[in-house]
Amino acid sequence: MKVLYYSSSLTGIGKRFFRTVLSHIPQERIEMCRSIVNLDSRLHQPLGGMTIAVFHVTAREELESLIARRDLLEDFRTILILPDNGEGTTAMGHILRPRFVIYSDSDLPDASVVLGKMLQGQKALAS
């Protein structure tokens, strides 16, 4: 089982949540994409059983880029990290149909629990 982690700027909450992901699975099972170009390249390869993705969005333009690729993302169970909790940003984020949304000022324990349950569900399917 692998997790796809997108973050163009691994800072702030994106960095903190990456450490949370590392507390659940080893780093070699995390595929990091640091740009939309890198993400595009990865999404056009076989997923190889990868069904969980974390998208750390730091700007509205990044969110728009992800939305433009939503058909490539529909097979993922997604955790979305948004830069703010503004109504427009949140509405745009929900176009991606995330399982869980985190904002830049969020607390991470709930997100850690959600990720853990997603990973347990994936393990059960693989067994």
- The pTM assigned to this predicted structure is 0.92
- What would the two tokens of residue 22 be? 């590392």
b/e map 95-106, b = 16+ CB within 10 Å: ebebebbbbeeb
3.50.4.10, 3.40.50.2300, 3.40.630.30, 2.60.40.640: CATH of 3-122: 3.40.50.2300
CA distances from 56 to 32, 62, 83 (A): 11, 9, 8
Nearest to 113 by CA among 6, 31, 51, 23: 23
pLDDT in tens, 21-56: 999 999 999 999 999 999 999 999 988 878 899 999
pLDDT tens figures, 51-108? 899 999 999 999 999 999 999 999 899 999 999 999 999 999 999 999 999 998 877 8
Domain boundaries, the chain: 3-122
